[in-house]
Structure 1
Amino acid sequence: MVDDARSAGSTVVAAALALFAENGYEQTSVEQIAQSAGVSRSTFFRQFGGKDDVVFADHEVLLAQLREYLGTAHENPWAAVCEASVQVFRHFAADPDLARRRYAVVREVPSLRDREIVTVFRYERLFDEYLRQALPGLDPIDAVAFAAMVTAVHNHVLRRLLRGTKRVSASVLSEAYDDLMHRFGVHPEGEPAADDDVVVATFPRRMPAAEVARRLGSLR
């Protein structure tokens, strides 16, 4: 699914990032990018609205594909959010050199850094809204907190990839999410019994009430 994003204007994106690295973002024109990518200026504007859209082109495709993924039924919504985030990581980890060039450009241009912050929030909001829809009655604080933690953990692991020179496996992120779901009390495999569990079936006290209701409902 997310693999489809890699083909969205990849030639233009690669050409643009190479020119940004060589000449600087502000000094690079759309005409130079189009010429380097072997496309016309009109073709460029059909694919992208401007230079900044080239930098963030992957995210637009990824966000659309994650909405489709989260729009289908999932046995455990918490795990579905984590898996969606892992898919995003796999996309960028598939071509770490390109991801690092993109990261270097964004770090140097204030307007791109600002847009990056907004883009990250769009993922967080998508996860938040999905959890509230998938778990009716879920405390909004639980939805916001989990979405924010998933996004923060993803960004932490992704920065390890972007700032280093070695590949970082998606399994690193998956393992971090396993720990996160255990901490939140929503891991698909359940939790070991503890003295402070709410005795309904054996659910951790920290588990949101909406998740308790969902799991009880699945036993009918």
Structure 2
Amino acid sequence: MSGDSATVRRGRPPQTQEQAEEVRARIVEATAAVFARNGSRGLSVAQIIEQAGLARPTFYRYFGNASEPLHVVLTASNDGLVGAIREALTGTDEPVQLGIRLIDAYVDWARGHGPMLRPLFAELHDPGSPVSAYRERALDDIRDLVRKTFDELDRPVPAPLDMDAALHVCEYIVYRLTAGTEPGSDPDPALDSEARVTMIRVLLVTLGTRDDLAYAMELPGLFRDA
């Protein structure tokens, strides 16, 4: 038997594409778990491979450093939020219903993150964290979606400051509503209802028109009586 043949036989069998994708997904899932515990500054290859139960050479076959799988995690998070809001902004031209659909999309996105939501929100305003840059990209995409939707509905496009105020307030309320809850768990009905009403009021005041507010004033329970 030639040396070349012996080498081929002793070598590791080639991975199928499906096996390679499974390992890559396993690394990304482990990265999300470590990020949820320690944030981006506490992320390391050593912790990822320990979480995934893989050898270091296996990790480096797919990623060059710990930041690369984190970027996969953050990209998926952004795509999920922007995609959900894009879908929420279609199918109705009624302003209150539009606001409710947008809020539901945001809340559902947040609940799907479970413990990963804490470091995501904690690092939103940290310029040294990749989370901050990804958040700005998501907000840019959401601003564009809102402007496009309002334009298509022949409604006044909100001023940039009004739009940012609406997005930031809703972002904070969504965090308050979903932080600490397990994925798939039922929210506190009282807190859920209160949060949604608050967000609807914020969206109406910052993004709505005088006619929208007049309509909303007739809806029971949306604004408190004097």
TM over 0.5: yes
Matched positions, count: 176
1:139 aligns with 2:156: yes
Contact map agreement 1:77 1:131 (CA 8 A) in 2: no
Change (3 A) 1:56 1:97: same
- TM-score, reference length from structure 1: 0.57
> Counterparts of 1:150 and 1:23 in 2: how far apart (Å)?
27
Contact map agreement 1:89 1:158 (CA 8 A) in 2: yes
- Secondary structure of residue in 2 paired with 1:110: coil
Aligned counterpart, 2:32? 17
Deviation at 1:150? 2.8
Q: 2:110 aligns with which of 77, 92, 96?
A: 92
Aligned counterpart, 1:171? 193
Aligned counterpart, 1:154? 170
Change (3 A) 1:15 1:98: same
Ranges in structure 1 where 5+ consecutive residues have no aligned partner: 1-8, 193-220
Aligned counterpart, 2:202? 180
> Counterparts of 2:39 and 2:118 in 1: how far apart (Å)?
17
Change (3 A) 1:109 1:13: farther
Contact map agreement 2:173 2:195 (CA 8 A) in 1: yes
Bigger-Rg structure (1/2): 2
> Counterparts of 1:152 and 1:17 in 2: how far apart (Å)?
24
Amino acid at match of 1:18: A
Change (3 A) 1:126 1:158: same
- TM-score, reference length from structure 2: 0.55
1:62 aligns with 2:77: no
Change (3 A) 1:23 1:110: closer
Contact map agreement 1:12 1:34 (CA 8 A) in 2: yes
> Counterparts of 1:86 and 1:10 in 2: how far apart (Å)?
28
Change (3 A) 1:73 1:18: closer
Give runs of aligned pairs for residues 1-220 of structure 1, distance below 5 A: 14-20=29-35, 21-22=37-38, 25=41, 28-29=44-45, 33=48, 36-37=51-52, 50-70=69-89, 72-77=90-95, 79-104=97-122, 110-112=128-130, 113-135=132-154, 138-140=155-157, 142=158, 144=160, 147-161=163-177, 169-180=191-202, 183=205, 184=208, 185=210, 186-187=212-213, 189-191=215-217
Contact map agreement 2:39 2:119 (CA 8 A) in 1: no
- Secondary structure of residue in 2 paired with 1:139: coil
Deviation at 1:64? 2.1
Change (3 A) 1:128 1:15: same
Contact map agreement 2:177 2:192 (CA 8 A) in 1: no
> Counterparts of 2:78 and 2:100 in 1: how far apart (Å)?
17
RMSD: 4.1
